Structure 1
Amino acid sequence: MWNNVRQLNLTTNALHVLLVLVLLAAGGYWLIQRPNFALREIQIDGDTEHINSPTVRAGVVGRLKGNYFTVDLDVARQAFEQMPWVRHASVRRVWPNALAVTLEEYKPLGTWGSDQLVSVDGELFTANQGELDGDLPAFDGPDGTAKEVVARYHDFQKWFAAIHASPEEVTLSPRYAWTVKLSNGTQVELGRERNQDTLADRSKRLTAAWSAVTQRWGEDIENADLRYPNGFAIRAAGMRFISEPDKGKK
């Protein structure tokens, strides 16, 4: 080898290249560690109705490691998405020492159970309910049924609009029976769905007879039990249940 000039030249050139690469790597490492690239600013954009600087400082800043070059954007995104109200976050670097974050907040439709909220998309999330604007309808149901309950809420809105009432509470029991509390104070027991038309048929049965029912028993109908094949039972204020045609509750 030592007598082979060509091989010696190749080895020397390779060592020179290696040295240059090492120096470049060392210089690059030194450069990216400079204080100029320490993260100094987080630019927040998008849905920020419930997000403010103190919230970001308390929930995210302490979890961001590294600088402009070394911060893990996926970890940063996850940190933002774990904040209350945040449904989705996208994070990018802004030269030379900032992060730009675009947030999408959950849009609350109602409360869920005792301590959660449900969004207009039927997604459950946890946030401070004291930040809500006004009263929201209340929902509840077995695990994994939030989207179904929200979908039925919109159905009940349409069906009970005929009697100028809207659902304030929608509950799906562990046995998958439906109960709706209306804005007029009536609690409606709809029972379980036997087929795709069960709830619609039972709701329309009540709304079709509502005028006659209220004329006879007054406006203060506390409970309407629709779990009958062709009829229903009501309880008016100060009265016991009054059965309408048909028997045999389902």
Structure 2
Amino acid sequence: MWQDIRSMNATANALFGVFILALLMSGIWWVVQRPMFTLKVIRVEGVEQAALRHVNAFTIRDTALPKMRGNFFTTNLDNVRTAFESVPWVRKASVQREWPNKLIVTLEEHQALGTWGEDGRLMSVKGDVFTANLAEAEEDAELIAFAGPEGSEKEVLARYLDFKQWFANISLAPEVVQYSSRYAWSLKLNNGMRVELGRLQDDQTLKNRVDRLLTVYPQLVASLQDSIESVDMRYPNGLALKSSHNAFGINPKLKVKRK
């Protein structure tokens, strides 16, 4: 009998606890849904409060805001972040709440370095491929033309930085960098000369081939009067060169052997 009474008391206490919890949750839900918590302000700023160059209120209104749901309490910050990262030119977004009805969104924009492939995409200075208005990117800088297999963007960027450093020794710079599906490297310099570097055999292959070209380049320029169209550095002991004309009456295609 006493056991039955204790069991009934325990059951009653449990039911009473559930009732109080339900009542509490209902109260919280009622408070959360009050109009004062409706999102009234979404403040958008650049990283470290830098000015945003390409993201504006119109693109945010058309791209990000339609994807947002909820109020100050119920909106999912990860969903908001994803919505803003879908805006053209946005590389990364972070979101935080500000009491009682604001969101603070901090955006990092892509900085375009060049184009990627043939489909109009852009590549950033951090090796990210993204889609944005090409004309806007061209207003910022002279774009490098990059190409390579999907997934090779970071490697292509790293090689470009190497080429830029190496060819600075002869006051030239790459304007086209291509990494073929057969893993061969080629580039076009800002004097119009195309350089074939081929596939890697080891970590020093590209550097050694570029060094060989840099060594003989002043001699080539002096002999051919800046008429060099292309140089093929894939030969182990020399190079193959093509010139647009030949002031010395020799074949435009020749092989220069290293001493």
TM normalised by structure 2 equals 0.86
Question: 25-34 vs 176-185, which deviates more?
Answer: 25-34
1:228 & 1:238 partners in 2: Cα distance?
23
2:150 & 2:8 partners in 1: Cα distance?
73
Instruction: Give yes or no for contact 2:193–2:231 (8 Å, CA) kept in 1.
Output: yes
Alignment partner, residue 103 of structure 1: 107
Instruction: Give yes or no for contact 2:227–2:245 (8 Å, CA) kept in 1.
Output: no
Letter in 1 for 2:231: A
Question: 235-244 vs 37-46, which deviates more?
Answer: 235-244
Alignment partner, residue 77 of structure 2: 73
* Partner SS for 1:232: strand
Point out where structure 1 has 5 or more consecutive residues left out of the alignment: none
Aligned residues: 246
1:58 aligned to 2:62?
yes
1:243 aligned to 2:250?
no
Give the direction of change, closer, same or farther, for the CA distance of 1:217–1:35 in structure 2 (3 Å limit): same
Give the alignment partner of residue 165 of structure 1, picking from 162, 169, 172.
172
1:197 & 1:89 partners in 2: Cα distance?
39
Alignment partner, residue 193 of structure 1: 200
> Percent identical across equivalent pairs?
47
Give the alignment partner of residue 96 of structure 2, picking from 92, 99, 103.
92
Cα distance per residue 1:119-143 (max 9 Å; x no partner): 2222222221221113211110111
TM normalised by structure 1 equals 0.89
Cα distance per residue 1:122-169 (max 9 Å; x no partner): 222222122111321111011111111111111111221122100000
* Partner SS for 1:181: strand
2:90 & 2:98 partners in 1: Cα distance?
22
1:9 & 1:199 partners in 2: Cα distance?
83
Instruction: Give yes or no for contact 1:36–1:97 (8 Å, CA) kept in 2.
Output: yes
Give the direction of change, closer, same or farther, for the CA distance of 1:31–1:230 in structure 2 (3 Å limit): same
1:187 & 1:227 partners in 2: Cα distance?
13
2:223 & 2:13 partners in 1: Cα distance?
104
1:23 & 1:198 partners in 2: Cα distance?
73
Q: 1:215-230, aligned counterparts within 5 Å?
A: 215-230=222-237
Give the alignment partner of residue 135 of structure 1, picking from 131, 137, 142.
142
Give the direction of change, closer, same or farther, for the CA distance of 1:199–1:34 in structure 2 (3 Å limit): same
1:157 & 1:41 partners in 2: Cα distance?
45
Give the alignment partner of residue 155 of structure 2, picking from 148, 156, 174.
148
1:234 aligned to 2:241?
yes
Letter in 2 for 1:38: T
Give the direction of change, closer, same or farther, for the CA distance of 1:18–1:190 in structure 2 (3 Å limit): closer
* Partner SS for 2:257: coil
Instruction: Give yes or no for contact 2:113–2:141 (8 Å, CA) kept in 1.
Output: no
* Partner SS for 1:51: coil
Offset at residue 42 of structure 1 (A): 0.8
1:125 aligned to 2:130?
yes
Offset at residue 15 of structure 1 (A): 5.4
